[in-house]
């Protein structure tokens, strides 16, 4: 994925300004930044949900502006806010969204079973989703994003406000996806999480990407990579601290 000069204004104020970066095939790329930095607005433009005011994005060589359908075939989106049907079971949610993505009934059912195993919910797949914990609901939402076997998966703050068990399941799911060759864009404001999970990180602040690199490369700009945290990197780059 290549983003070039992405810009979005809301009410005359730039939420995202001249953002350019590349996500390589099969990497976990973290977009790290505080509340309001522009992470979600960026993801929305990368995933064809929101049209940029300037700039363009290519996913697998296809422009989000001119070839939205081609892009949507290749991506999965797990939005920051849960998007599922609370009255339906996990299986029925997955099958429904799989059918929306163009799978046949048979394909959707088979894929739903595999996805449930992948997110660690196979034992409770027939329960209605409203009875699940927040973390389990989040895992169903990740499962929905996986129904069309995306090459590129967008996860927008997948671990905010959830229990440690679900958090670990999500880490395992993301690592397993990378091992299978899926590219992942992961936004978070948890620095330890980005440090542990991401191959490369883009640090975002006030609508701009202020640095891109591996965690070790970013830390080396500040000091000894073994003894520097991403919090210190953020402080160094922006003059401000990154708070949860
Ligand atoms: N639909 C909208 N209308 C007006 N302003 C918006 C809209 N969406 C985002 N903004 C503004 O754009 C800026 C960036 O918001 P965005 O949601 O992209 O940040 P974020 O990094 O995802 O933050 P968070 O960590 O809180 O999710 C913020 O100032 C926000 O208030
Ligand atoms: Mg956001």
Expressed in angstroms and rounded, the spacing between residue 160 Cα and the centre of ligand 2 is 11
**CA 207 to ligand 1 center in whole angstroms:** 9
- Per-residue pLDDT band for 241 (boundaries 50, 70, 90) equals confident
Q: Of 101, 84, 102, which is closest to residue 93 (Cα–Cα)?
A: 84
Ligand 1 atom closest to the CA of 33, numbered from 1? 21
Q: Which atom of ligand 1 is nearest to the CA of 43?
A: 18
Give CA separation, 160 vs 113, 194, 210, in Å. 26, 13, 23
**CB of residue 80 inside a 6 A radius of ligand 1:** yes
Q: Determine whether the shortest distance from the Cβ of 35 to ligand 1 is under 6 A.
A: yes
pLDDT of residue 240: 78
Alpha-carbon 29 to chain mean position: 9
pLDDT computed for residue 243 by the predictor: 61
Taking residues 63-89, report their average pLDDT: 96
Mean pLDDT of 191-218: 95
pLDDT at 161: 85
Kindly tell me if the per-residue pLDDT of 233 is higher than 60. yes
Q: What confidence tens digit (pLDDT) does each residue in 217-230 have?
A: 999 998 898 999 99
* Alpha-carbon span 91 to 111, nearest angstrom: 10
The contacts of residue 17 (CB under 8 Å, 6+ apart) are 7, 38, 207, 208
Residue nearest to atom 6 of ligand 1 (CA): 10
Q: What's the 15 CA to ligand 1 centre distance in angstroms?
A: 7
CA 187/CA 229 separation, integer angstroms? 18
Q: Is the CB of 15 under 6 A from ligand 1?
A: yes
Please give the Cα distance from 186 to 96 (Å, whole number): 25
pLDDT score for 119: 93
The ligand 1 atom at the shortest distance from the C-alpha of residue 40 is 22
Please, which pLDDT band fits residue 189 given cuts at 50, 70 and 90?
confident
Q: How confident is the model at residue 242 (pLDDT cuts 50, 70, 90)?
A: low
Arithmetic mean of pLDDT, 79-95: 96
202 lines ligand 1 (CB under 6 A): no
Asked whether residue 244 carries a pLDDT value surpassing 60, the answer given is no
Ligand nearest to the CA of 44: 1
Specify the pairing of strand 183-188 against strand 28-32. parallel
In short, whether 76's Cβ falls inside 6 Å of ligand 1 is: no
The pLDDT value given to residue 238: 86
Q: Residues 126-155: pLDDT tens digits?
A: 999 999 999 999 999 999 999 999 999 999
186-210 average pLDDT score: 93
- What are the start-end ranges of the E strands in the chain? 2-10, 13-22, 28-32, 54-59, 62-63, 75-78, 152-156, 183-188, 200-205, 208-213
- What pLDDT is recorded for position 219? 95
Q: Structural domains in the chain? A: 2-83+151-238 (3.40.50.300)
Average pLDDT, the chain: 94
Ligand 1 atom having least distance to the Cα of 157: 27
pLDDT of 7 over the 70 cut: yes
């Amino acid at each position: 994925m290549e983003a070039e000069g992405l810009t979005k204004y809301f009410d005359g104020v730039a939420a995202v300004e001249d953002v350019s970066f590349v996500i390589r095939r099969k990497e976990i790329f973290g977009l790290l930044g505080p509340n309001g930095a522009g992470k979600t607005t960026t993801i929305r433009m990368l995933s064809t949900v929101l049209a940029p005011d300037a700039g363009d994005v290519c996913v697998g060589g296809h422009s989000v502006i001119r070839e939205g359908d081609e892009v949507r075939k290749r991506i999965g989106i797990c939005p920051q806010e849960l998007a599922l049907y609370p009255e339906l079971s996990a299986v029925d949610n997955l099958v429904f969204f799989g059918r929306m993505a163009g799978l046949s009934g048979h394909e959707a059912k088979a894929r739903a079973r595999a996805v449930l195993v992948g997110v660690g919910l196979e034992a409770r797949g027939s329960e209605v989703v409203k009875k699940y914990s927040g973390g389990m609901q989040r895992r169903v939402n990740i499962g929905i994003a996986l129904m069309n076997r995306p090459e590129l998966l967008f996860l927008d703050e997948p671990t905010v406000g959830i229990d440690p068990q679900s958090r670990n399941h999500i880490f395992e799911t993301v690592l397993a996806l990378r091992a299978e060759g899926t590219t992942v864009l992961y936004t978070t404001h948890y620095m330890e999480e980005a440090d542990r999970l991401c191959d490369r990180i883009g640090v975002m602040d006030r609508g701009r990407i202020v640095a891109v690199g591996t965690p070790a490369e970013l830390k080396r700009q500040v000091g000894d990579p073994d003894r520097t945290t991403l919090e210190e990197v953020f402080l160094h780059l922006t003059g401000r601290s990154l708070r949860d």
